[in-house]
Amino acid sequence: FESSLYGQTDTKSFPKLIDRLISITGKQPEYFINHHIVYTPQTETRFGPERNEDRLLRLVSAAYKDQFIPFYDRQWSLEQQDPPENKGMASTRLLLSSPLEGDVFKFVQELGFKYQFETVIQGFQSRDGPFRLQVFKVYKTQEQYKISTAVPFEDSTRWLVKVYCLFDKPEEAQRWADAVISIAASLDGCCTFHVIDPLVLEHKPTYS
């Protein structure tokens, strides 16, 4: 399970936020680039309750670790996210993730999914015990699989902020959500956090 809280900051406040992360964790944030390739079911589910069970699949890999990692040399994981539920300001969802080997793209096709879109997440991340703090921007690729062609989705002066943790027991969801909110409060004055409508984070397939 993942419990998360999202916020935003601007370019002017960015240095202050990074300094705050250093004071919380005691170390410099790590630069990262993650590549997300999203797939939707090849067969459209008919309208009705059955469609509510449709899920996107995504291949996720780190594209940078001390240096850029060639596309076919990366370690890919297959992820599926269930619809989130709000626990106060934080959102909690089931997150399934499994590392893959071999031809991962052929494997996803054999599961009955087709390419839909991809995003590149670029920014800085820190850890504070079980909690992870990310400051990042989201980009879209103009050419399939080529992160070098990525351009910002929207206002390039805005940085998104995510505070989250992963846990195993669903009965602990509220405790971890409260803890995430508490960690986010330590960033007060550097960024603004928001309650996110679960529909925004739902990530359901769109059929054309």
User: Rounded to an integer, what distance in angstroms lies between the CA atom of residue 111 and that of residue 202?
Assistant: 21
For residue 54, the model assigns a pLDDT of: 63
User: Rounded to an integer, what distance in angstroms lies between the CA atom of residue 18 and that of residue 13?
Assistant: 9
Reported pTM = 0.87
**Encoding tokens for residue 158?**
């805005």
Residue 53 has pLDDT above 70, yes or no: no
- Start-to-end CA span in the chain (Å): 31
79 burial via Cβ count (<10 Å: 0-12, 13-18, 19+): middle
Contact 138, 160 (CB under 8 A): yes
For residue 197, the model assigns a pLDDT of: 61
* Rg from Cα positions in the chain: 18
Residues present in the chain in total: 208
For residue 51, the model assigns a pLDDT of: 47
Q: Which stretches does DSSP call E strand in 53-128?
A: 57-64, 76-81, 85-87, 90-93, 95-99, 113-128
Residue written as tokens 């459209």?
Answer: 44
Q: What is the mean pLDDT of the chain?
A: 88
Query: Which pLDDT band, with edges at 50, 70 and 90, does 47 fall under?
Result: low
Residue 69 has pLDDT above 90, yes or no: yes
Contact 191, 163 (CB under 8 A): no
Residue 207 has pLDDT above 60, yes or no: no
